[in-house]
Amino acid sequence: MSCTGRMLLETAWSEAIDSKHAASFPAQVLNMKPAETLGMLEEAAGTRMYENKKEAALRTLAKKQVKVDDFNKVRSSVRGPSG
């Protein structure tokens, strides 16, 4: 199911109605920087969690690649130039 901007705003507004800051919520959203708005939408859509997991996995892969490169360097120096 695709989600339109109107649906997101309606959902956000309905959630804000329950809070004591309901009147200031639309102004807060309008005054957000684009990155903050994107972050809020990602959080609401549930994609932020997956992005965080992806970033953590990429960091782990980078660390593992450094170890593999070091191993290959040591292995090639032990074998010598003739292989």
- Write out the DSSP string of 45-74: HT-HHHHHHHHHHHHHHHHHHHHHHHHHHH
What is the sign, positive or negative, of the torsion defined by CA atoms of 43, 47, 41, 35? Answer: positive
**pLDDT value of position 79:** 79
- The answer, as to whether pTM is greater than 0.85, is no
**pLDDT value of position 8:** 66
pLDDT averaged per 10 residues, the chain (length 83): 64 60 69 86 83 94 97 88 60
The CA distance from 49 to 43, in Å, is 8
**pLDDT value of position 53:** 93
For the chain, the farthest-separated pair of C-alpha atoms sits apart, in whole angstroms, at: 76
**pLDDT value of position 83:** 55
